[in-house]
Amino acid sequence: MMRQLHVFERPARFVAGTVGEPGDRTFYLQAADGNRVVSVALEKQQVVVLSDRLDQLLEEVVTRTGTALPATGSAAGDNDALEQPVDEEFRVAAMGLAWDGDAGLVVIEAQAPVESSEEAEQTLLEDVEEGPDALRVLLEPGDARAFVERARRLVSAGRPPCPLCGQPLNPAGHVCVRLNGYHRGISLNP
């Protein structure tokens, strides 16, 4: 199938965001530059993994090159909501992360589902005509750090964990596995 590759080089905005209330949120990656906006849906855990790996990549670049990277970029402090309307291009199945040493940019790619994992490996971070749709974003290191900070705030803003099992608490409590399936009603307001 013909691939649709959405490329944003140094976009005005690249963020992780949500739509909905805690416990019923849909997570998105959104790139915006001028009137062009692309949003792709993903799981909360994918946001966690992306932010952790991105942080590790930036630290590795500093270690290997001995170059100090900017602590923050123009996106620092961006707490605004996602650009509306949020039109989902696709749901993310695979992600790739790389460092473009020549340009000094972080490359993030989120890819739509494919038939086989082998097909995903062949097209991830590659410029090929055939394959799954993808969103590729090239970021300045400071903007990548700002993405990590926002993503971590976003994830931690969800429901608090149960002190016994670690599963998210609903306002009315939840069925706690540590209590052998009994309902645990815990007040979210101490």
3-state secondary structure 122-142: HHCCCCCCECCCEEEEEECHH
Instruction: Please report, rounded to a whole number, the percentage of residues in the chain having pLDDT higher than 70.
Output: 85
73-121: pLDDT as tens digits: 665 678 899 999 999 999 999 999 999 999 999 999 999 998 766 665 6
Separation between Cα atoms, residue 49 and residue 44, nearest integer Å: 9
The whole-number average pLDDT for the span 67-74 is: 68
Does an H or E element contain 183, and which? strand 183-184
pLDDT reported for residue 159: 75
User: Residue 22: how many CB atoms within 10 A of its CB?
Assistant: 15
3-15: pLDDT as tens digits: 899 999 999 999 9
Q: What is the DSSP letter of 54?
A: H
Separation between Cα atoms, residue 169 and residue 190, nearest integer Å: 13
pLDDT reported for residue 185: 57
Question: Average per-residue pLDDT in the chain?
Answer: 86
Q: Residue 188: which pLDDT band, with cuts at 50, 70 and 90?
A: very low
DSSP 3-state of 99: strand
Pair of tokens at residue 114: 């494919």
Q: CA-based Rg of the chain, rounded to a whole angstrom?
A: 19
**Position of tokens 């101490």?**
190
pLDDT reported for residue 170: 73
Separation between Cα atoms, residue 160 and residue 166, nearest integer Å: 9
34-47: pLDDT as tens digits: 999 999 999 999 99
Separation between Cα atoms, residue 40 and residue 113, nearest integer Å: 12
Q: Residue 32: which pLDDT band, with cuts at 50, 70 and 90?
A: very high
Separation between Cα atoms, residue 147 and residue 4, nearest integer Å: 24
- CA contacts within 13 A on the Cβ side of 16: 30
pLDDT reported for residue 74: 62
pLDDT reported for residue 175: 78
Q: Are 22 and 30 in contact (CB under 8 A)?
A: no
What type of residue sits at position 69?
L
Q: Residue 190: which pLDDT band, with cuts at 50, 70 and 90?
A: very low
Domain boundaries, the chain: 5-158, 160-190
Separation between Cα atoms, residue 113 and residue 140, nearest integer Å: 27
pLDDT reported for residue 39: 98
| pLDDT tops 90 at residue 57 | yes
pTM listed for this prediction: 0.81
Assign domain 5-158 one CATH number from 3.30.2010, 3.40.1350, 3.30.2450, 1.10.357: 3.30.2450
